[in-house]
Amino acid sequence: MNGQCYLLKNWVYRSGFGDGLAAQTILFFVVSLCVAVFAIGSESELLIQVVPGLIWVLTLLSSLLGLPDLLNRDAQDGTLDDMVLSKHPLPMLMLIKIIAHWAATGLPLSIIAPAILYTMDGTRVFDPAFVLAGLLAGSLYFSALGLAASALVLQARRSFALYAVIVLPLSIPGLIFGAGSLSQQAQGLSGLGGFYLLTACAVLAVTLIPFASAWIVRMKVAS
């Protein structure tokens, strides 16, 4: 367990700070949001209707950013072979990969996005804690899908578009429940139903995908 804690710390550090992935993700998210807001125009009533959905879409797209490095670099420098052969169970290592990717992309965005929304939300429609909780669960779901996609795409010829093609369709349930819970809250409803379903998606993905990814990685490394 100690070794796994060390790996987690190391991988979070490397993906988040060593590569500057966290900084890049935050920059991408904030700049894209600003560009979109400029394009829509600053009428606050329209803005407050579209910004929650925009935040969700940008969180999803931001989660794609780190994927080309997530497993490919390990495969190139041989770390992946070590992972398959190591004494730690491979699904556990895959789970740590998900958490490392999430810590560098989903976690910072989940904190920044409610803050941005709060500044735009003049009439206090949204509960920042609710926005935060939804984004935490949703981005974890997206990171898990990202790991599955990385495992599938491993050793492919041309890959970048494939991440989008794999992750985006599978992410639609999370997107619908997550953004839907916010639009329900905007209508004065609780929005909790969508949040529960979103959390269920996240739990399902985080528990099953490490095993599936481990199986895929093991087969690909063996061949």
The site for another protein (CB under 8 A) is made up of 148, 151-153, 155-159, 161-162, 165-166, 168-170, 172-173, 176, 212, 215-216, 219-220, 223
Give 11 or 163: the residue with its C-beta nearer to another protein: 163
> Least separation, in Å, of the C-beta of 216 and another protein?
5
Q: Is 95 helix (H, G, I), strand (E, B) or coil?
A: helix
Which residues does 203 contact at the CB level (< 8 Å), separation at least 6?
none
Give 133 or 170: the residue with its C-beta nearer to another protein: 170
Which residues does 208 contact at the CB level (< 8 Å), separation at least 6?
none
CA distances from 16 to 21, 158, 163, 166, 180 (A): 5, 25, 20, 24, 30
Give 108 or 178: the residue with its C-beta nearer to another protein: 178
Query: Is residue 61 classed exposed, middle or buried when 0-12, 13-18 and 19+ CB atoms within 10 A define those classes?
Result: middle
> Least separation, in Å, of the C-beta of 64 and another protein?
14
Rounded-to-integer distance, Cα 156 and Cα 171, Å: 22
CA dihedral 37, 175, 211, 62 (to 10 degrees): -10
> Least separation, in Å, of the C-beta of 169 and another protein?
4
> Least separation, in Å, of the C-beta of 164 and another protein?
9
Tokens standing for 222? 């063996």
> Least separation, in Å, of the C-beta of 177 and another protein?
11
> Least separation, in Å, of the C-beta of 192 and another protein?
16
Q: Are 98 and 209 in contact (CB under 8 A)?
A: yes
Give 114 or 194: the residue with its C-beta nearer to another protein: 194
**Per-residue H/E/C for 171-217:** HHHHHHHHHHHHHHHHCCCCCHHHHHHHHHHHHHHHHHHHHHHHHHH
Give 29 or 163: the residue with its C-beta nearer to another protein: 163
Give 21 or 217: the residue with its C-beta nearer to another protein: 217
